[in-house]
Structure 1
Amino acid sequence: MIHHFTVGDLSCAVISDGQPRPPWEPPLAEFFTPATGVPERELSAAAAGRTTLTCGYNCVAVATGAGTAVIDAGLGRGFTGYGPALAPLYGRLADGLAEAGLAAWETAAVVFTHLHEDHTRGALAAFPTASGFAHAAEVAYWKEATSLPDVRRRPALDAIAAFGDRLREVEYGEEILPHVHTVDAAGHTPGHTAILLRSRGERLLCVGDSFYDPLQLAHPAWRTPWDHDAERSVRSRRRLLAWAADENVPVHAYHLPFPGLGRVERWGDAFAWRPGL
């Protein structure tokens, strides 16, 4: 699945690495749990009969003055961590790039919002000459988190090793490529980074895993088991949503249904998602 669009003078495309359909959509109750502050009764009432989450893996390709950059790289081919039945549903990014007229080996840069496996595995062997970009705090955390189980830490270390000296550690507030800026979105992981595309007065804010489902806009305090710093993730989410709503900044959300593009509107003290640009 490919969706072409522009941001000012930037030619962009959302390219899906995969999106499970029913009956393979994951349960909402795995994302929003009592342990993360979402009682079952509250989730049931808010979901209004919906029991699953449509979890897309929406990568963005953008033509910059320094070459094509890919923002997050999906799970890649051959991933079996969600079970063998789901393995064929992932790993579509390389084919999508080719269909869009972009060879993966010609990609100039891969920009990671963070180093969880569903954002990095697709880049391990697909981009042999590309530069990588990840926040310095993100790289440092995974290198130093020796107390974590290897199964959690290994994907990040594999990505760091795969890029080697082609991996640039960045900070917030940088223009890392022409028209490509880093924005503080920490909390989900220590160096979680939103990416702002800006050209000729137009913008797109790529928020990574700042939220997984529109329910988190209506309930911005809801957290997930994968948030490293729960309180900071809530603060970041509220700040980014308020910015997008108040300045009408279009948003790309990595895990929303393809293509994950939309606008944020204020809804009392919370927010609402409006698909489409």
Structure 2
Amino acid sequence: MAYPTTEQPPRPTGVRSLLLGDTKVSYVPDGEVRLRPREMFPDATDAAWAAHPGLLDASGSLVASIGGLLVEKDGRALLIDAGFGPRSLPPAPDGPRGAIHGGALLDHLARLGRRPEDIEAVAVTHLHPDHTGWAWHPAPGLGRPAFAHADHLVSEPEWAAHRTQTEPPETAGPAPRVRTVTDGQEIFPGVRVRVAAGHTLGHTEFVVSAGGRRLIAFGDALHSPIQVAHPEWSSAFDHDPVRAADHRRRLVAELAEPGTVGFGIHFADAVFGRAVPDGDHLTWRPTAA
């Protein structure tokens, strides 16, 4: 089944890995955020949420994970997204965001046998703080970000938009280490950039191809499995809701193609999966690790 039907809501999961030929991809958890579902998806209906109670916790919040994707091949290692970092925030007084915290990414990276120094580059889907945390913020005891040695790969349109904004110092980013990348560029063996604007001006997906299969790390193009069935639902965080929904429809169709796996960084305990037919629409089916 695409969604849980028990009264126990999903919780952010531990480390999970998949093999694509000789490439290993692993979800590296950092923390979680609880979201207010009606504020998060303004076009959603109460009936739709009632049909999928397993996506919400006892308080009615949407459970969302935060972390990164480790890509390993021939002894090399790339990290896609860097969690929220070693910090937490209470619920926002209004809007979609509930409580949010990070802090576990380095410990989980160690369980995968990797030190921060092993990561040759950190590629970010976009420059929101729940994706740049450990790359942007000083790590405890270090006085610098954990991946300060690594290149930070950001799409050209995302970095250009970022540079025109007035940012507080904590989110200004490690400009000397940023290297901009372009649509279609290979940034690691078998990993290519795909600019998919909508959520932000330069929001980026990363396509990992190996062993005759591909994995699409789609960042915040989708925030929840429920959007696979309802790709028309844009989130309150989408910069351009119409453009985001248009891309999401194409993405969901791709996730139903043979040999294709999706990685949803905010998909709680179902981060790897596919879109499968369910009546007159598609739904998310988790893929076993």
Q: Which runs of 4+ in 1 moved over 4 A?
A: none
Query: What CA deviation, in whole Å up to 9, does each residue of 1:47-94 have, x standing for no partner?
Result: 1163321101131111135821111011010233647x956x421111
Match of 2:7 in 1: none
Instruction: Kindly indicate whether residue 83 of structure 2 is the aligned counterpart of residue 74 of structure 1.
Output: yes
In the TM superposition, residue 267 of structure 1 has moved relative to its aligned partner by 4.5
Closer, same or farther: CA 86–187 of 1 in aligned 2, 3 Å:
closer
Distance 1:77 1:46 in 2: 35
Instruction: Kindly indicate whether residue 133 of structure 2 is the aligned counterpart of residue 113 of structure 1.
Output: no
Distance 2:212 2:233 in 1: 33
Match among 50, 54, 62 for residue 63 of structure 2: 54
| One-letter identity of the residue aligned with 2:46 | S
In the TM superposition, residue 6 of structure 1 has moved relative to its aligned partner by 1.2
Instruction: Give percent identity, aligned residues only.
Output: 33
Match of 1:15 in 2: 28
In the TM superposition, residue 249 of structure 1 has moved relative to its aligned partner by 0.8
2:73·2:189 contact (CA, 8 Å) conserved in 1? yes
Match among 140, 152, 155 for residue 132 of structure 1: 152
Closer, same or farther: CA 247–225 of 1 in aligned 2, 3 Å:
same
> Structure 1: any 5+ residue segments left out of the alignment?
none
2:148·2:177 contact (CA, 8 Å) conserved in 1? no
Closer, same or farther: CA 126–4 of 1 in aligned 2, 3 Å:
same
* TM-score, normalised via structure 2 length: 0.81
Distance 2:215 2:243 in 1: 23
Distance 1:200 1:4 in 2: 15
1:2·1:96 contact (CA, 8 Å) conserved in 2? yes
Match of 1:200 in 2: 211
1:135·1:171 contact (CA, 8 Å) conserved in 2? yes
Aligned length: 255
2:184·2:193 contact (CA, 8 Å) conserved in 1? yes
Match of 2:11 in 1: none
Match of 2:45 in 1: 43
Structure ranking higher in helix proportion = 1
CA RMSD of aligned residues (A): 2.2
In the TM superposition, residue 30 of structure 1 has moved relative to its aligned partner by 2.5
Distance 1:197 1:166 in 2: 23
2:231·2:248 contact (CA, 8 Å) conserved in 1? yes
Match among 215, 229, 251 for residue 218 of structure 1: 229
Match of 1:185 in 2: 196
1:248·1:264 contact (CA, 8 Å) conserved in 2? no
Distance 1:215 1:202 in 2: 24
Distance 2:17 2:251 in 1: 24
Give 3-state SS (helix, strand or coil) of 1:128's partner. Answer: coil
> Structure 2: any 5+ residue segments left out of the alignment?
1-13, 54-59, 93-97, 137-144
Closer, same or farther: CA 19–258 of 1 in aligned 2, 3 Å:
farther
Distance 1:241 1:217 in 2: 6
Structure ranking higher in strand proportion = 2
* TM-score, normalised via structure 1 length: 0.84
